Structure 1
């Protein structure tokens, strides 16, 4: 005999239906997300509009009449050292990213796979280094540059800036990459060593393909750093010809002689292009690297 009763609703998962309080919290969460998105998108939208608005003069006027024009971009290329700043920034960013990747990949592997004296103490030192703000060492950077420049002729302030960026990136990313490598089973290492692989071959053939997504992230953030930083280039670099983009573009905001806020917006828009290109180039590595490396061929 069939039992007739209230038909139970079926769910595709074990998640329970939202309670009234849950619905309220969900609505509040969406409101917060929409508000946060508006806070981010609104300034970016005005920056793009102002960069192409020919009616803008030296100051940004959000409600001004709009007239499409490239005059602010022409001002950047003709009246400022924008191309020199771009060259300086890309050079510093590329060298910083390569130097950071080269050292971090080895230090992360060493801390993850080897046990040596002073390992825990040095890891603790790496963690403590991150608590010291960068600007606190500006005096030390000046002193160090003067010492190194006396020993190594031609050691420029831009080289010093590269070492500062790379040094800070090595300290933080070593700890991150070490934790990522710890999640990789050591059985893969043992199987490779049974086949006759050395430690370097294990590192190159097994570990590197698996950690490729994390290396791509480290490369991306190391490259972005010099584009975003203003304080260190402004303090360490003394001539406009040696400025990075952040320090150079800021002269369009705080200098009465070169004040041009719409040109600053145009420069900020162009600054994002190299970062977007690098992100697009590394996107494939971020996705495909997760599924490669552990398959033995």
Structure 2
């Protein structure tokens, strides 16, 4: 025999209850919001691609869908500028920054995740506080240091600043991931005679591949569109990066290479887009796993 509560629920239940209407409305609103965000994101991309295919050199007369599309701007940017040199310079900086950053961050995070030493908590707190300060605050100091080390107008000076500047945030990120790897694996390996260095390379690094790939990709993409610091450090034409070179195309009052600039912007975006699409799962795994409490 049904109880009174079940009888009352059956009486009030309707095919189109207020709860179902609310669920449908919320779902519809979510999809509309996602469509709006997609339009806002895609519109500038479509427009800049269209501008790179338009005739002439002015962005004011460019349209998202060109009437007479041309690839001449892509040809001009290679033949009439040093785009190839800018590209190679930026690629060299990005690869070197990726390698140095991964080395510095993983070793630092491993020490904090696996060792106990005096001042560990206070130094971790110091790292946490350091990442709260904007990088602009230290630009003059970094310029002075690089000047004293004779690293001004040198790609290695830029790489060292990039690699060292990412340590505070990425150390916390990678430490959170490494702390979730059971220490019993380390102990079992050391019982078998493995050294701490062997444990690091043979056990920790293979298990930490998702967060390391995430770290490597983010550090590889970081220098591609950074403008302010390279502009401060680099002065010679042969050392220019993509951001500086493309800016110089349109910076002067007589420069009207806006469609060439659009073509260059598209070429810069292609590697980052392809890398992100191919390694997207590592980005998600790295963010979620590194966010775990360690």
TM-score, with structure 2 as normaliser: 0.83
Once the two structures are TM-superposed, the CA of residue 201 in structure 1 deviates from its matched residue by 1.6
Inter-partner Cα distance in structure 2 for 1:284 and 1:48: 27
Is 1:87 the counterpart of 2:66 in the alignment?
no
For 2:104 and 2:65, locate their aligned partners in 1 and report how far apart those are by CA, in whole Å: 51
**Do the aligned partners of 1:130 and 1:172 also contact (CA within 8 Å) in 2?**
yes
2:240 matched residue in structure 1: 243
Q: 1:230: how far off?
A: 1.4
Give structure 1 stretches of 5+ with no counterpart: 7-16, 290-297
Match of residue 57 from structure 1: 57
Report the alpha carbon displacement of residue 195 of structure 1 after superposing the two structures with TM: 2.1
> Which deviates more from structure 2 when the two are superposed, residues 41-50 or residues 278-287?
278-287
Q: CA RMSD in A?
A: 2.8
Q: Is residue 224–residue 268 contact of structure 2 (8 Å, CA) maintained in 1? A: yes
Match of 1:128 in 2: 129
Does the 8 Å contact 1:111/1:119 carry over to 2?
Answer: yes
- Contact 1:100–1:166 under 8 Å retained in 2: yes
CA distance in 1 between counterparts of 2:64 and 2:200 reads 58
Asked whether the equivalents of residues 153 and 234 of structure 2 are also in contact (C-alpha less than 8 Å), the reply is no
* C-alpha spacing 1:63/1:101, structure 2 compared with 1 (3 Å): closer
Q: Is the 8 A contact 2:105 2:174 kept in 1?
A: yes
CA apart distance, 1:278: 4.3
Structure 2 unmatched ranges of 5 or more: 1-5, 8-17, 287-294
Aligned to 1:14: none
Q: Is the 8 A contact 2:53 2:66 kept in 1?
A: no
In 2, Cα distance between equivalents of 1:225 and 1:33: 27
**C-alpha distance in 2, partners of 1:122/1:141?**
22
**Kept in 2: contact 1:213–1:287 (CA 8 A):** no
Whether 2:198 is the aligned partner of 1:197: answer no
When residues 93 and 63 of structure 1 are mapped into structure 2, their CA distance, relative to the original with a 3 A threshold, is closer
